[in-house]
A and B are shown apart, each in its own frame.
Chain A
Amino acid sequence: MIPLSWYLIFAAALFSIGLFGVLARKNAVAILLGVELMLNAANINLLAFWRYRAPEGVAGQAFALIVFAVAAAEVAVGLALIISIYRRRKSVIADEMNLLKW
């Protein structure tokens, strides 16, 4: 059987890639994709931990399901906000959103 640590390392790597995407990418859609990777990393953690550490309960599974639902809602709202700013500025580059500063 694959040891638990492999799943955790995989999830940590996925989380780091997502975080790097959030911090380094300038395109808002790419930033949202990075956030999705981070949420997926959390889900892998949840399911791996559930299977290996507490398989008798359902908390891990229930948590993962709720994360799906929240992620879907967050992306729906996120894309809507990105579209609303795209209509006014014809751009989704985060660096160009600089009306509000200091």
Chain B
Amino acid sequence: MTIESFEPTMLLAILPEILLLVLIGFVLALDAVWKPEQRRALGWLTAGGLALIMVLALAVSRPSEDPRLVWGGMLRHDWFGFAFKMLFLFGAAITALFAMDAEELGKRGEFYVLMLVSTLGMNLMASASDLIMLYLAIETTSIPLYVLSGFMRHDDHSTEAGFKYMLFGAAASAVMLYGLTLLYGFAGDTSFYSLGLAMHNAELPLLPIVGSLVLILVGFAFKISAVPLHFWAPDVYEGAPTPVAGFLSTASKAAGFAVLLRVLLSIFTPVALPSWTGLLAVVAVMTMTLGNALALFQKNIKRLLAYSSIAHAGYILIGIVAISRLAVTGVVFYLIAYLITNLAAFGIVATFWRVVGSDQIADYAGMSRRKPWLAMAMLVAFLSLAGMPPLAGFVAKVFVFAAAVQADYIWLAVVGVLNSIVGLYYYLTVLKVVYLYRSEETEGLPLPISRPSAIALTVLTLGILLVGTLFGPWFSLAEQVAKAVLRNY
């Protein structure tokens, strides 16, 4: 694939990023001008602006079937990057709605600005096709997320979450950077596709390349919270403000999977370097099993969701191990389903915390009587996480496991199914507390939901049902995305 020289249509390829910068400028300016009590409206501005960016991007900057390398080969304008960008913009808009009424978050312009900068980084991650751009994009995503995790400066848990996330994240990204430099050195190039070509023609020494792959995988495994680099996730999710935890576990994780897919499919193609599938199979099994096993013992709902999100990273890794057209389609579909489902789960936790001030599962007793609709949304989200039909999580699991069976990884699919059963147990335990347990003290107390949270929860719940029942269009979208990323030269 040749790198095109500059022409004005290239601006269309980065239209979402340009508009995000404009939105960031607006939010910063209005934050300075508006009075503190007006600043809650910045959430409406952020969510509305992101929705507008999605509409504009869908209208004018859709990529063609043929992927293009633009901006000196730094970015690749294709359906893979574009679909992930839309996913991140959606996730950020929903997070802004959930954050609006959260204490210490919703009335602070910096919160929205940092979240938008992080989204900008994720957009670049999804379309990066050069080692330099990849590193810059990953850091643009991570650094604002460190601040967001520690955003509540007057809360011991939040500051500790930011502190831990920053230390672990900085170390993991430094290891990854070392791997990137080795790759650059031994191949003498930074473009994914030239590297892939050199790898394909077996022009490179094997040992340093495998070494650099392992170092790079450390950085990616950290981002997707795969074992053995998962240990930060429960602490950070528990301590971080709940909307931020939701953003971390969905958009940030999806961005990690996007770059993992892109790098594995363009540079370390399975044809050129088949050894990584075995390594990732082991990682997938450990991630699923450990995540589910530790989730069984959690008393805090945010920690439970953290271990559940580790387990989900394991399920998605099954699709990456199987690596075929169907598998990549399944991974993309899984990420779409997982993003809406987990955002809903964290949104419910955030809504509940705002009124009750507790994240303990035991305090959810009697919630179905206090607010049947909220309990209903929780039922849908948790059953979708557990993979029950007819919800989004079920269809996603079917595709990923089917791809594993098709690629002769039957044992991996069996491990995945067994793990889903363990998962079902702890999701149902939470639902049991919500629906069957009663609490004398809280019976009849109101559980108000703010308007933005209600809108976001409605959108997400309908989305879970829609993706789960009418999965045809979503599947063909995922297939188009898979086709774009599998097309290399």
Indicate if B150 sits at the interface (CB-CB under 8 A). yes
Instruction: Say whether B136 contacts A70, CB under 8 Å.
Output: yes
CB B420 to nearest CB in A, in angstroms, measures: 24
11 contacts between A and B (CB under 8 A): A15-B178, A18-B174, A28-B163, A32-B167, A38-B175, A45-B178, A54-B188, A54-B189, A67-B177, A78-B167, A100-B161
Is B143 a contact of A84 with CB atoms below 8 Å? no
Instruction: Report yes or no: A81 in contact with B132, Cβ–Cβ below 8 A.
Output: no
Question: B184 at interface (Cβ–Cβ under 8 A)?
Answer: yes
A66–B124 alpha-carbon span in the complex (Å): 15
Q: How many residues of B contact A (CB 8 A)?
A: 41
Are A49 and B185 touching (Cβ within 8 A)? Answer: yes
The answer to whether B166 has its CB under 8 Å from any CB of chain A is yes
Contact among A49, A54, A85, A89 with B181 in the assembled complex (CB-CB below 8 Å)? A49
In the docked arrangement, what's the CA distance between A89 and B234, Å? Answer: 21
Contact B175 A19 (CB under 8 A): yes
Please, which residues of chain A bring their CB within 8 A of the CB of B378?
none
Would you list which residues of chain B between 167 and 181 have a CB under 8 Å from chain A? 167, 170-171, 174-175, 177-178, 180-181
Q: Is B139 an interface residue (CB 8 A)?
A: yes
**In the assembly, what is the distance between CA of A41 and CA of B408, in Å?**
42
How many angstroms from the CA of A83 to the CA of B344 in the assembled complex?
Answer: 34
A99 at the interface (CB under 8 A from B): yes
Query: Within the complex, which residue of B139, B153, B239, B303 is in contact with A70, where a contact is CB–CB below 8 Å?
Result: B139
Q: Using Cβ atoms and an 8 Å threshold, which residues of chain A touch B188?
A: 49, 53-54
* Whole-angstrom CA separation of A54 from B175 in the bound complex: 23
| A residues 2-58 touching B (CB-CB < 8 Å) | 8, 15, 18-19, 22, 28, 31-32, 34-35, 38-39, 41-42, 45-46, 48-49, 53-54
Of all chain A residues, the one with the shortest Cβ separation from B131 is A63
Can you add 6 more A-B contacts, CB < 8 Å, to A41-B178, A99-B156? A70-B135, A78-B146, A81-B146, A85-B150, A85-B163, A99-B157
Interface string of B188-216 (1 = CB under 8 A from A): 11100000000000000000000000000
| Chain A residue at minimal CB-CB distance from B179 | A42
Cβ of A73 within 8 Å of any chain B Cβ, yes or no, is yes
Q: Are A97 and B164 neighbours in the complex by a CB distance under 8 Å?
A: yes
Known contacts: A89-B156, A101-B235. The answer to whether A81 contacts B150 by CB under 8 A is yes
Q: Choose among A66, A84, A88, A94 the residue that contacts B167 (Cβ–Cβ < 8 A).
A: A94
| CB of A37 to closest CB in B, whole Å | 9
- Please name all residues of chain A whose beta carbon is closer than 8 Å to the beta carbon of B303 when the two chains form the complex: 102
Task: Tell me the bound Cα distance from A97 to B164 in angstroms.
Answer: 8
Chain B residues, Cβ within 8 Å of A22: 171
Q: Which residue of B lies closest to A35 (CB)?
A: B170
Interface members, chain B 284-323 (any A CB < 8 Å): 297, 303
Main secondary structure of the interface of B (DSSP, over half): helix
- A-B pairs, 6 with minimum CB distance: A49-B185, A38-B174, A45-B181, A100-B235, A54-B188, A85-B159
CB-CB < 8 A to B180: which residues of A?
Answer: 42
A81 near B159: Cβ-Cβ < 8 Å? yes
- Does B132 contact A63, Cβ atoms closer than 8 Å? yes
How far, in Å, is B295 (CB) from chain A's closest CB? Answer: 12
Flag if A100 contacts B164 (CB, 8 Å): yes
Which residues of B, 349-406, contact A by the 8 Å Cβ criterion?
Answer: none
Majority secondary structure of chain A interface residues (helix, strand, loop or mixed) = helix
Residues of B within 8 A of A (CB): 131-132, 135-136, 139, 143, 146-147, 150, 153-154, 156-157, 159-164, 166-167, 170-171, 174-175, 177-178, 180-182, 184-185, 188-190, 234-235, 238-239, 297, 303
> How far, in Å, is B449 (CB) from chain A's closest CB?
28
Q: Mark A60-91, 1 if CB is under 8 A from B, else 0.
A: 10110011001001100110111011011100
The distance from the CB of B298 to the nearest CB of chain A, in whole angstroms, is 8
Chain A proximity of B178: nearest CB distance (Å)? 5
Query: Across the interface, which residues of B come within 8 angstroms of A41, CB to CB?
Result: 178
Q: What chain A residues lie within 8 Å of B153 (beta carbons)? A: 84, 87
List of A residues within 8 angstroms of B163 by Cβ: 28, 81-82, 84-85, 97
B169 and chain A: residue at smallest CB distance:
A74
Q: What is the minimal beta-carbon distance from A77 to any residue of chain B, in angstroms?
A: 5
Query: Given contacts A70-B139, A101-B235, is CB(A39)–CB(B177) below 8 Å?
Result: yes
Considering only CB atoms, which chain B residue lies closest to A46 in the complex? B181
B164 in contact with A88 (CB, 8 Å): no
**Separation of A22 and B171 alpha carbons in the complex (Å):** 7
Q: Are A100 and B238 in contact (CB under 8 A)?
A: yes
B contact residues around A77 at 8 Å (CB) = 143, 146-147, 166
